[in-house]
């Protein structure tokens, strides 16, 4: 549904972080300080993680990989930014993370350098917006989804390395739209 969406206001910057392999994804937990403003509400960035292939599609198209930047407001409401990755050139941010990615489920370590979540976003911040659910159990409803329209590159080797570490795809199947409008 075409509409005028208010832009997402980003307040991201370099942050200390920890990378962990929780057995179903590689997750980066960030120190406090990064946030977005959405419809007058502040959501704090808690972590980001990855899925191969993508969990969202655009016009029925899957992407090689998807990052989810997970935010929560003071009341526990969630806003997730989805960023798609097309196969192409190697991604320097992914390269840095994969070089430190724990190979064993349950392992974690502090990242050697700060990570700036802005480097995981495309230059143009146009996005789709819809209400949905978490994509991992308990798949709770009430999540504000903001899926970026523009994709970033990831090399085949980078996507394949992640899929191999997860012992195969780690995406939730695409769910029916049902009565959810997708705003753009």
Residues involved in catalysis = 24
The 3-class secondary structure across the chain, one letter per residue, is CCCCCCCCEEECCCECEEEEECCCCEEEEECCCCEEEECCEEEEEEEEEEECCCCCCECCECCCEEEEEEEECCCCCEEEEEEEEEECCCCHHHHHHHHHCCCCCCCEEECCCCECHHHHCCCCCCEEEEEEECCCCCCCEEEEEEEECCCEEECHHHHHHHHHHCCCCCCCCCCCCCCCCCEC
């Amino acid at each position: 549904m075409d509409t005028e969406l208010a832009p997402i206001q980003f307040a991201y910057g370099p942050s200390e972080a920890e990378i962990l392999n929780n057995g179903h994804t590689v997750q980066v937990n960030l120190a406090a300080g990064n946030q977005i403003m959405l419809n007058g509400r502040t959501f704090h960035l808690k972590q980001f993680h990855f899925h191969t292939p993508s969990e969202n599609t655009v016009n029925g198209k899957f992407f090689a990989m998807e990052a989810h930047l997970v935010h929560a407001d003071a009341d526990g409401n969630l806003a997730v930014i989805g960023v798609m990755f097309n196969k192409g050139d190697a991604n320097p941010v992914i390269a840095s993370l994969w070089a430190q990615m724990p190979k064993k489920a349950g392992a974690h370590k502090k990242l050697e350098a700060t990570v700036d979540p802005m480097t995981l976003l495309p230059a143009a911040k146009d996005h789709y917006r819809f209400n949905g659910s978490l994509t991992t159990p308990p798949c709770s409803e009430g999540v504000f989804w903001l899926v970026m329209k523009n994709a970033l590159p990831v090399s085949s080797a980078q996507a394949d390395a992640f899929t191999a570490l997860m012992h195969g795809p780690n995406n939730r199947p695409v769910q029916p739209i049902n009565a959810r409008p997708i705003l753009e």
